[in-house]
């Protein structure tokens, strides 16, 4: 009731999130300076030496409390962006809505933000989304402006203390995801927080607090109004979170329709339960999660190709049924998917190009005669397309014998490859693999002198007739 009354008399402002400041010593949290990266510690130390406050903040502190090695580190300080820029030679100021500084230390990039103020953001649109926000304030005000309590923790490596304003440590230990302040207004300020709620709860195994989950369904209409690049970036974070399937299930649990959020998520959500989790989408996401857990590289184009493949395959099969050959049918299917993606999906060209190449090479694996296997092996995108063939075979939609043949062909030497091709030529031809044509005998050309003589004789013969 008090919140509603305040909204009526102060329509432009929201009541500040209540603060319950706690300072936890090392004995209560167990994080030592050795646990954080050298780059993060150096940035904090240099800012302290320059006379500023500085803390490791956000997800890195949360992950350390959970025993997870952080992928990246953020630092919060009372220094303004231009002041941070002066302290670090290898740094640059970026951002429109809220300026931040990227500080490069060796191979690492540390994101440094200035404490945000508690005042109303400088500029909001008609839906309440923050368009510009460069108001600065205290650490307590900055904590109130962060999204979830688990992300509003400040670690000082010199004092080995965590400063907690919103019971974030208690929520982490209870595995609760709690929004700071009024969840509805926080989603209006930044609709992407709804996707973040699904990602964090799915990845960390947290239960979303009822007050945090309740407004999501009625605020979903705000997501399509977000800039495409920012929305696509958040979709990528979800799919490459290391727990993609769990994050997608959390979306469903929170009432988030994939069609409302982004077409890529709609495709993934629709196909996730396919073949009892043994479909190509589930296999691709599961394999990606495992590679990320093993700290191995992943290909964005490959994963997106798998997520969208069922839709491409349906069109491909339809065109095959209409009598088209395999390569032409697939070309039509790829073209239709490309036309859909160009209607505002926000997928960068480098990823769509990779996806198309992986798809269009699939029919070529059926051709194992003559010089075609060697030409396919020389393709720049062969390895990705071959891995995709293996994935299709695991999903039961490609012939395992064909996948095994290509595995052996890559490992064979030149003589063994020739023998494999000879054996393949003795078998019935695959679709589109026409039998070798008989060579036509070419007539031997007569010597130049004979040709000239024939040319001279011809008119005489004709004249005689």
pLDDT at 261: 87
Q: What is the pLDDT of residue 448?
A: 57
What pLDDT is attached to residue 41?
A: 96
Q: What is the pLDDT of residue 373?
A: 95
In the chain, domain spans: 18-174, 185-265, 300-425
Overall fold of domain 18-174: Beta Polymerase; domain 2 (3.30.460)
Cβ–Cβ < 8 Å for 359, 312:
yes
The pTM of this model reads: 0.81
DSSP string, 344-364: T----HHHHHHHHHHHHTGGG
pLDDT for residue 429: 57
**74, 133, 164, 171: which is the annotated catalytic residue?**
74
pLDDT of residue 3: 44
Per-residue model confidence (pLDDT) at position 229:
87
- With CA atoms as reference, report the closest residue to 312 among 335, 279, 328, 283: 335
Q: Which of 63, 133, 142, 147 is catalytic?
A: 147
Predicted local confidence at residue 212, as pLDDT:
97
The answer for residues whose C-beta is within 8 angstroms of residue 354's C-beta and 6 or more apart is: 299, 300, 301, 302, 305, 381, 384
Non-local CB neighbours of 378 within 8 Å, separated by 6+ positions: none
Catalytic, 72? Answer yes
Q: Residues near 398 by Cβ (< 8 Å), separated by ≥ 6?
A: 362, 365, 389, 392
Catalytic residue among 72, 182, 387, 399: 72
State the 10-residue block means of pLDDT for the chain, 465 residues long.
Answer: 40 56 95 95 97 97 96 96 96 88 96 83 50 77 95 97 97 97 94 96 97 94 89 94 94 87 90 81 95 92 96 96 94 95 89 96 94 95 97 95 96 94 78 48 57 41 36
Residue 434 has a pLDDT of 46
pLDDT score at 443: 62
Four-CA torsion 118, 124, 130, 131, nearest 10 degrees: -120
- What token pair was written down for 122? 């400088």
Q: How confident is the model at residue 133, as a pLDDT?
A: 56
pLDDT the model gives residue 433: 52
Span 300-425: which CATH code? 1.10.3090.10
pLDDT at 452 (0 to 100): 45
Spatial distance between the Cα atoms of 135 and 120, rounded to a whole number of angstroms: 9
pLDDT at 79: 97
What's residue 426's pLDDT?
82
Strands 74-77 and 100-105: unpaired
């Amino acid at each position: 009731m008090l919140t509603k009354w305040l909204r009526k008399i102060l329509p432009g402002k929201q009541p500040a999130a209540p603060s319950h400041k706690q300072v936890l010593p090392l004995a209560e949290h167990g994080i030592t300076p050795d646990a954080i990266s050298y780059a993060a510690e150096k940035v904090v130390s240099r800012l302290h030496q320059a006379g500023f406050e500085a803390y490791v903040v956000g997800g890195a502190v949360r992950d350390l409390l959970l025993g997870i090695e952080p992928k990246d580190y953020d630092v919060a300080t009372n220094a303004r962006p231009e002041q941070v820029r002066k302290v670090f030679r290898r740094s640059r100021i970026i951002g429109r809505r809220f300026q931040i500084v990227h500080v490069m230390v060796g191979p690492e990039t540390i994101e440094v933000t200035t404490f945000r103020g508690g005042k109303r953001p400088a500029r909001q649109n008609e839906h309440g989304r923050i368009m510009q926000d460069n108001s600065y304030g205290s650490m307590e005000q900055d904590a109130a402006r962060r999204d979830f309590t688990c992300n509003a923790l400040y670690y000082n490596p010199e004092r080995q203390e965590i400063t907690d304003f919103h019971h974030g440590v208690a929520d982490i230990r209870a595995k609760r995801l709690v929004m700071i302040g009024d969840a509805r207004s926080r989603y209006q300020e930044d609709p992407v927080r709804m996707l973040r709620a699904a990602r964090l709860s799915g990845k960390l195994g947290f239960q979303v607090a009822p007050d945090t989950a309740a407004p999501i369904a009625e605020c979903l209409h705000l997501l399509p109004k977000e800039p495409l690049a920012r929305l696509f970036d958040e979709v990528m974070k979800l799919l490459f979170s290391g727990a993609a399937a769990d994050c997608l299930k959390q979306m469903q649990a929170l009432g988030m329709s994939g069609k409302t959020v982004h077409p890529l998520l709609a495709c993934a959500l629709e196909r996730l339960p396919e073949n009892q989790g043994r479909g190509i989408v589930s296999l691709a996401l599961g394999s990606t999660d495992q590679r990320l857990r093993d700290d191995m590289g992943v290909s964005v184009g490959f994963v997106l190709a798998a997520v969208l493949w069922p839709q491409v395959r349906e069109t491909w099969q339809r065109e095959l049924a209409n009598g088209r050959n395999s390569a032409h049918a697939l070309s039509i299917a790829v073209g239709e998917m490309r036309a859909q993606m160009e209607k505002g999906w926000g997928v960068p060209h480098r990823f769509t190009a990779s996806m198309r190449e992986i798809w269009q090479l699939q029919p070529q694996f059926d051709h194992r005669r003559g010089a075609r296997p060697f030409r396919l092996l020389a393709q720049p995108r062969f390895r990705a397309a071959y891995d995709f063939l293996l994935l299709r075979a695991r999903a039961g939609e490609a012939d395992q014998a064909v996948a095994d043949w290509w595995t052996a062909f890559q490992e064979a030497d030149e003589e063994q490859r020739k023998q494999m091709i000879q054996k393949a030529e003795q078998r019935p031809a695959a679709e589109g693999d026409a039998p070798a044509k008989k060579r036509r005998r070419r007539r031997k050309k007569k010597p130049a002198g004979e040709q000239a003589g024939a040319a001279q004789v011809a008119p005489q013969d004709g004249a005689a007739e």
